[in-house]
Amino acid sequence: MSAFRSFSIPALLLVTALTACSVSTSPGGSTDSSTGAAGQKDDGPVAIGFSQATQQSPFYVQLREGAEAAAKKAGGTLYFADSGGDVTKQNNDIQDLITRQVDVLLINPVDPKGVQPGIAAAKAAGIPVVTVDRPVPEGAVAHVGRDNKAMGALVGKRLSEQLGDKGGTVIEIRGDAGGAVARDRSAGFHEAVAGNPKIKIVEGPYSDYVRSKAVTAMQDLLQVHPDVAAVYAHNDDMALGALQVLKENGKDKVLVAGVDGLMEAVKQIPQGQYVATALNDPISLGSTAVETVLKVQKGEQVEPNIDAGTALIDTDNAADYAGSGEFAQASK
């Protein structure tokens, strides 16, 4: 920001005090609702604390929006905190949310193991935890997500069929190091293409699901593997980054596939180079996560693992999923 407004010293101190907390409040309800002691039910609107791993991917932006919309519909308050990919900040954010006396914590962990101190603190405060998108080894009442291994397998099978007997080198651009989502999307893909002995997978660097990082990775990988036949990325944002580099270098025959059903990718599919993606509607995922949180807050029994479902999107059905939203919708 290039313009500055002068403040008196007392006003400046007040602004500093108000901005010191890293947690923001969504429009999902009143900010002054009384929730009693941490983890204790009362008659006021439910207060949900949502600690998000990052906002650097369109998927996570939409996940937040889905959660906020569901909280607002239920008349609750959702306090949101963006960890920015930093697990230390996430643990601090969780402490802030506990201080706000939320009823339930919704956590999308930066690191499933690294976030355990925050989960332990929530348990000590009597606040139940529900995880979304990325599971944790222990400490959560329930996990709401999708079968990422199945997603990788769906895309891998389709790409293997497209490559056929010729096979070739497939570059894999991975998500985050140590993350369960990246691990499962990789495992499912590898298992699906294992039946085609002509395919050789080259594991590229972790690009944290960010397009700009995938662009840099693909530029380097293309220098080393100019004969690449296909690229598989752990999300569509990275796959589209790879596609950009391929087109800039005249590699129009190199196939590309991703995961998440990002609309930009869905609309690329009919052109032929972008082969497939897997449905992973973040709006419905966020909504389902909040619905689960509300059940937990009411003391209802919930399944430990709630699968929001997926599907393959390819040339056969891409037109059915095309729309104005940022991601293909699960309801279609």
Q: How far is CA 313 from CA 3, 164, 266, in A?
A: 47, 19, 7
Q: What is the largest CA-CA distance in the chain?
A: 73
Domain boundaries of the chain, sorted by first residue: 23-145+283-301, 148-279+313-321
Tell me the C-alpha distance between 287 and 283, whole Å. 6
pTM over 0.95: no
Q: What is the mean pLDDT of residues 199-228?
A: 97
Tell me the C-alpha distance between 190 and 186, whole Å. 6
Residue 29: per-residue pLDDT: 39
148-279+313-321: which CATH architecture? 3-Layer(aba) Sandwich (3.40)
| C-beta separation of 142 from 307 below 8 A | no
Options 3.40.50.2300, 1.10.10.10, 3.30.1950.10, 3.40.720.10; CATH of 23-145+283-301 = 3.40.50.2300
Q: Is 34 exposed, middle or buried (0-12, 13-18, 19+ CB in 10 A)?
A: exposed
Q: What is the mean pLDDT of residues 174-182?
A: 90
Tokens of 70: 């569901």
More confident residue, 81 or 7: 81
Asked, colleague to colleague, whether 23-145+283-301 and 148-279+313-321 share their fold, the answer is: yes
Q: Is 301 exposed, middle or buried (0-12, 13-18, 19+ CB in 10 A)?
A: exposed
Q: Is 78 exposed, middle or buried (0-12, 13-18, 19+ CB in 10 A)?
A: buried
- How do residues 49-92 score in pLDDT, each as one tens digit? 999 999 988 889 999 999 999 999 999 999 999 999 999 999 99
